[in-house]
Structures are given as C-alpha cells and as structure tokens.
Amino acid sequence: MDLSNIPAGLLAPRPVGADTGVASPLSTDGTGTSFADALKSAVADANDKVVSADHAVQSLMLGEGSVHQAMIAMQDAQVAMEMVVAVRNKVLEAYQEVMRMPV
C-alpha cells in the first residue's frame, strides 16, 4: 500500500476533543461533565450529609435540636452512602467483567 499520496496532516495523530468532531471519552452527555467529576460530586455530597447528620445528632444530645431533624438527617446520610456504595460496587463489577474479556 502506497501512503505517499496521502497528505501528512491526515497521518498525524490528533487529540480527541471538541475541535476534532470526536467526543471525548470522559464526556458523558456532551456538556463536559465527566463520570469522574460526577462521582467526586456524589461522594462529596454524601460526606456533607454525613457531617450534617453528625451535627444534628450532637445538637439533639445538647438539647438544641429535635428528634425529627436528627432522624431525617441520619436517613438522608444513610441513603446517600448506600448510593455511593452501590455505584462503587457496579464500577468494580464492570472492571472485573472487562478484565475477564478475552483479548
């Protein structure tokens, strides 16, 4: 196969990005939000909810808060942590499945 007639610009490697017309592999919905950023945001949100629940329980123990507020904060933190653990488990399952694929 003779490659001498092909312009040099077509043979040069190009970065993947918006300027090449090829979607970035990290972009999930075209808005530039990557899966890693979404995961970091979800983990940070879950951490904030756990800290908020801790503060609600402390204020309840000091007699400043109500049982309802503490229970709601604790349940919210529990649901957020369950979601983070579920996503982690799915990512690990996907990784293991990819590693089992034949080459």
pLDDT in tens, 19-70: 555 455 555 456 678 888 988 999 999 999 999 999 999 999 999 989 999 9
- Comparing CA positions, the residue from 60, 79, 78 lying closest to residue 68 is 60
Domain membership of residue 24 (yes or no) is no
Domain membership of residue 19 (yes or no) is no
Q: How far apart are CA 85 and CA 18, in angstroms?
A: 33
pTM of the model: 0.63
pLDDT of residue 15: 57
Tokens read off for 19: 């300027």
Q: How many domains does the chain have?
A: 1
Domain membership of residue 72 (yes or no) is yes
Tokens read off for 50: 């756990």
Domain membership of residue 87 (yes or no) is yes
User: In which domain, by residue range, is 57 found?
Assistant: 34-103
Domain membership of residue 17 (yes or no) is no
62 Cα distance to chain centroid: 36
| For range 84-100, the mean pLDDT | 95
Domain membership of residue 86 (yes or no) is yes
pLDDT of residue 34: 87
| For range 66-84, the mean pLDDT | 95
| For range 85-90, the mean pLDDT | 95
Pick 83 or 5 by higher pLDDT: 83
